[in-house]
Structure 1
Amino acid sequence: MDSFPERANGGVLVVVGSGIRLYREYLLAGAAREHPLWLFDTDEPTWQSPYLAGFSRVNTSDPEALVAAARDLSAVRRIDGVFCFSEALVEPAAALVEEFGLSGMGSEAVRNCRDKSRTRTLLASSGVGQPRSAAVSSYDEAARAADEFGFPLVLKPRGLAGSLGVVLVPEPAGLFDAYREAAAPNYPGVPTFEASVLVEEYADGPEISVDGLLADGVYRPLVLARKKVAMEPYFEETGHLVDPCDPLLSSGELLTLLTDAHRALGATGAITHTEVRLTASGPRLIEVNARLGGGLIPFLGSLATGIDPGRCGARAALGRPVELPVAESRQVAGIHFAYPPEDCTVESVRVPDRDALPGLQQAISLVTPGDVLRLPPRGYISRYAYAICVADTVAACRERLALAGAALGLEHRPAPALTTDAEPELVWAPLSPGAAR
């Protein structure tokens, strides 16, 4: 049974938003092992309750409402820090960091990460390796940027994450459709911009993500994942693999890039999730997110190394040193996300039992009968299941993930027709409210 710090008295760590249980409970549990938690959220807690010292109902998207709720709380409990792992809420949460003078990233640093055009400008001024980029507000502007950069190109929304609306454009004929697709997506709580699309050089090569933090001027990686993408020209993330002995963890070139990028953005005092492309010319920074990674990447890190990512995130938010555990044994951990072969309505999902396959840790259905799944550009992150495996080597883990992926099954029927002018449906798995709770 988990043991938690004394909750009756003393200070609390304010958690802004708890997210979906399936994807974020392990972070909340880890944070609770470090410090008493007080949740600010829009709904009364259910599964979150065992981890909490208290709760305040508040509009988490409204910085002024958050500050008002925190002032009320501070009259009875000392606020020791603010922890947020929701992409849509990191900017409102930063208002609390500033209001109470706490450790962590303030509003300017968070905006430096959230606004990808602003990120590019700051990184360019510091000489950080990255693709050339231009923020545009029309197709004509996109065409002029394309003439300057040449093809292939990538078009992406300026303020979203998770590869939503990101499109590869190999040649001029695809630019018009790609601009429409990159300009269409939006998500509640995520800011929009007048020049809402970025046109960027394509950084060819494998993609990695690194969860870590800048401390005492030096970047320290905690979890490095190799990413698998599919559905070209889109960049749907179909898997991640974490090798605790990955040689990139000690790459001076990569660590210098990460250190310089975080210094340029002022991204200090919190764990971030950074995406990098490994090109023939060296690593190129794609984006920095002011939160822990999604897609259960930090959870893979816990399986691979024994690290407690939620506790590490809480320690960073409290201004405490974040130390990596010295694991007696380490293993490679990976996740496979299953997508439908076409737009469809779910009838049933088949997942294997944990003991049915070697190294299988989890096999989870993310949908229920009747859910509609649409592939890009009509929908994004339309996963119907995932499987997590561990093994002693990278090759063995990949083999086990392939077996687990083949054991996942989907019965489906055609999806309802969309109107021709329908915008993409931004779908975040798990789709089913029942699965989410």
Structure 2
Amino acid sequence: MTAGPGALLVIGSGLKVYREYLVAPIRRRAREAGLDMVLLNNLKPTWQREYFDEIIVANVFDSEAMGAAAREVAGRRRIVGLMCWDEPLVLDAGLLAAEFGVPGLSVPGVRGCRDKELTRAQLTAAGLYQPGFELTTTAAGARAAAERIGYPVVIKPRAMGASIGVVFAADEAEVDAAFRIALAASEVDPGPYRASALVEGYAPGPEISVDGAVHKGEYLPMFVARKHSSDQPYFEEVGHLVDAADPLLEDRELMRTLARAHQALGIEDGITHSEVRLTDRGPLIIEINGRLGGDLIPFLGRTATGIEPGEVLFDVATGRWPDTGHTRRAVAGIRFGYPAQDCVLRSVTVPTRAPGLVAAAPMAEPGTTLRLPPGGYLARHSFVVCEADDTRTCLDRLATAAALVQLDTEPAGPPEPNAPFAMPAGLLDVDE
């Protein structure tokens, strides 16, 4: 048995602007508990040095390389918890947590979260309302599946996030193009679910997300985010709004559905980000992600409710009961800036002052080519975060702050024909 202080193993740090607010309280709790923090990351450390006792650079997007690096750490340190909030890494991280015998989603749980086809199958088997669905690897298969399911349909990669490659098809004439887009996006995924797409029936209704903790199989909701998306067919996420007093937190049918879904997937310990459509047949779970929400949704949750997501994550990752009680009652929202058309970014300037402004930052460097779907995704040049006492005021403040963003661009030429799908610029940390 290895001696010395216990260690938290974190796989993938994410961008400073997106994840430092999580890492800082985790580090504080680790110090209080006498634990070291070890990071496996794909790039050389910069801001991470302030928070981690050891940083190992390894290709975490290669399953074998990640596993070898993690096992080397476990061979000389006593791992007491493992954390990961980067979608492409969640599966391997969850399997390693089970291997090391530390709290985690569980092997069935992490597979059920990561594989959208398996999610659908298990939730359907559990008697939860789900759309018709079929997995396919060919355009002909997509056409046949859509005919059986009935139009309209949504075609999506089997395992991706952030609505990348998710396309609406109203009829047969739109299926082939939608399938090509979804399949191209799926081929970027490094895991076992690449190069396949899911065809499923479209269910209309507002979309929300719910971040919740799971401790020993018990689901504990933290906050609800109302999602603002672009028009069909691409479902680009343009903003989110979290209200600490959202009545959906008291909606028994929604919370019962979420708890049953987590139980059906076998999720044991961790934080999940569930996406749900509110349909005329009741809540329909679109997917359950085995990680914290992206798009700064946990930051909005902290601002609105006072819940510290980093502390909750520390607790569930180390086997402790988490505190998910609200200590604030406010509304917080985020608005992402998108260009009107494909462009090359020359400069972007965000406001430093605006009513209720909490944070604002550029999201792309000068010289970045921003492409809208289907040529690209998440073509965001900036974001603004505002808070208020009520929803209407918060939305007004977001509009005001977003209008203060100054953008200088030049037109971008058309993408190369048959160019492979590339992950959006600005989603990964840069080398020192």
- TM over 0.5, yes or no? yes
Equivalent position SS for 1:381: coil
Whether the 8 Å contact between 2:218 and 2:268 is mirrored in structure 1 is no
Task: Look up the match of 1:305.
Answer: 305
The separation in 1 between residues aligned to 2:288 and 2:161, in whole angstroms, is: 10
Matched, 1:408 2:392: no
State the distance in 1 between where 2:133 and 2:306 align. 38
Structure 2 residue aligned with 1:358:
355
Cα distance change on mapping 1:196 and 1:349 into 2, 3 Å: same
- 5+ long unaligned stretches in structure 1: 1-7
Contact 2:160 2:189 in 1 (8 A): no
Question: Residues 429 and 225 (structure 1 numbering): CA distance in 2 closer, same or farther, change over 3 Å?
Answer: farther
Query: In the alignment, is residue 197 of structure 1 matched against residue 197 of structure 2?
Result: yes
Sort the Cα spacing of 1:409 and 1:278 in 2 relative to 1 into closer, same or farther, 3 A. Answer: same
Cα deviation 1:371-392 (Å, max 9, x = unaligned): 1000000000010010000000
| Greater Cα offset, 223-232 or 330-339 | 223-232
Alignment-derived partner of residue 129 in structure 1: 129
Cα-Cα RMSD = 2.1
The normalised TM-score by structure 1 is 0.92
Using the size of structure 2 for normalisation, the TM-score is 0.93
Counterpart position of 1:227: 227
Question: Partner residue of 2:10?
Answer: 15
Instruction: Say if 1:378 and 1:425, in contact at 8 Å, map to a contact too.
Output: no
Q: How many residues are matched?
A: 425
Structure 2 counterpart SS, 1:110: helix
Does structure 1 conserve the Cα–Cα contact (< 8 Å) formed by 2:347 and 2:407?
yes
1:34 aligns with 2:33: no
Closer, same or farther in 2 for the Cα pair 1:332/1:80, shift >3 Å?
same
Moved more, 362-371 or 258-267: 362-371
Which secondary structure does the structure 1 equivalent of 2:185 belong to? coil
Pair 1:345–1:58, CA change in 2 (3 A)? closer
Per the TM alignment, residue 135 of structure 1 is displaced from its structure 2 partner at its CA by 0.7
1:128–1:195 CA distance, 2 compared to 1 (3 A): farther
Could you tell me which runs of 5 or more consecutive residues in structure 2 were left unpaired when the two chains were aligned. Answer: 31-35
Quick one: which amino acid aligns to residue 269 of structure 1?
A: D
Evaluate the alpha carbon distance shift between residue 169 and residue 270 of structure 1 in structure 2; reply closer, same or farther with a 3 A threshold.
same
In structure 2, C-alpha distance between the alignment counterparts of 1:359 and 1:165, rounded to whole Å:
34
Give the equivalent residue in structure 2 for 1:338: 337
User: Is 342-351 or 376-385 further displaced after alignment?
Assistant: 342-351
2:22 partner amino acid:
L
1:28-427 alignment, distance < 5 Å: 28-35=23-30, 36-186=36-186, 190-191=190-191, 193=193, 196-327=196-327, 329-353=328-352, 355=353, 357-427=354-424
- Cα 1:187/1:20, change in 2 over 3 Å: farther
SS in 2 for 1:19: coil
Shift of residue 362, structure 1, vs aligned partner: 1.4
Change (3 A) 1:63 1:426: closer
Further displaced range: 101-110 or 164-173: 101-110
Show CA shifts across 1:44-90 (max 9, x none). 32211111122233332344444443444345432111011111111
Aligned partners of 1:14 and 1:81 also within 8 Å: yes
Letter in 1 for 2:277: R
Deviation at 1:264, TM superposition (A): 1.1
Q: Which residue of 2 aligns with 1:3?
A: none
Change (3 A) 1:28 1:432: closer
Shift of 1:346: 1.0
Conservation of the 8 A alpha-carbon contact between 1:273 and 1:290: yes
User: 1:332-391: per-residue Cα shift (whole Å, max 9, x none)?
Assistant: 0000001000001112223222x2x21011121112321100000000001001000000
Amino acid at match of 1:336: R
Q: Distance in 2 between matches of 1:432 and 1:367?
A: 12
Q: Distance in 1 between matches of 2:71 and 2:138?
A: 43
Task: Measure, in 1, the Cα distance between the counterparts of 2:63 and 2:174.
Answer: 40
Output one character per residue of 1:246-293: Cα deviation in whole Å (capped at 9) or x when no partner. 011111111111111111111220101110000111110100111111
Partners of 2:382 and 2:102 lie apart in 1 by: 39
User: Against the structure 1 CA distance between its residues 293 and 428, is the aligned structure 2 distance closer, same or farther, given a 3 Å change threshold?
Assistant: farther
On the 8 A contact 1:303/1:331 being kept in 2, the answer is: yes
Query: % of aligned pairs identical?
Result: 44
Of 391-400 and 189-198, more deviation after overlay is shown by 189-198
| Contact in 2 for aligned 1:359/1:390 (Cα 8 Å) | yes
CA distance in 2, matches of 1:80, 1:57: 21
C-alpha deviation, 1:178, in angstroms: 1.0
1:142 counterpart letter in structure 2: A
Structure 2 residue matching 1:14: 3-state secondary structure: strand
Q: Secondary structure at the match of 1:398?
A: helix
Letter matched to residue 415 of structure 1: A
Contact 1:67-1:95 within 8 A present in 2 as well: no
Judged with a 3 Å threshold, the aligned counterparts in structure 2 of structure 1 residues 136 and 424 are, in CA distance, closer, same or farther, namely same
Amino acid in the other structure paired with 1:222:
M
- The whole-number CA distance in structure 2 between the counterparts of 1:127 and 1:384 is 42
The one-letter code matched in structure 1 to 2:7 is V
Q: For structure 1, which segment, 80-89 or 98-107, has the greater mean C-alpha deviation from structure 2 after superposition?
A: 98-107
CA distance in 2, matches of 1:135, 1:282: 25
Could you report, residue by residue, the CA deviation over 1:146-191 in whole angstroms, capped at 9, with x for unpaired residues?
1122211111111111100101112222112111111111465532
- Distance change in 2, residues 1:241/1:396 (3 Å): same
CA contact (8 A) 2:217 2:266 kept: no
Query: Does the C-alpha gap of structure 1 residues 311 and 92 become closer, same or farther in structure 2, counting only changes over 3 Å?
Result: same
Q: Measure the CA separation in 2 of the matches of 1:213 and 1:141.
A: 38
How far off is 1:106 after superposition? 3.2
Find the aligned partners of 1:58 and 1:194 in 2 and give their Cα distance: 22
The letter of the residue matching 2:336 is F
In structure 2, what is the equivalent of residue 4 of structure 1? none
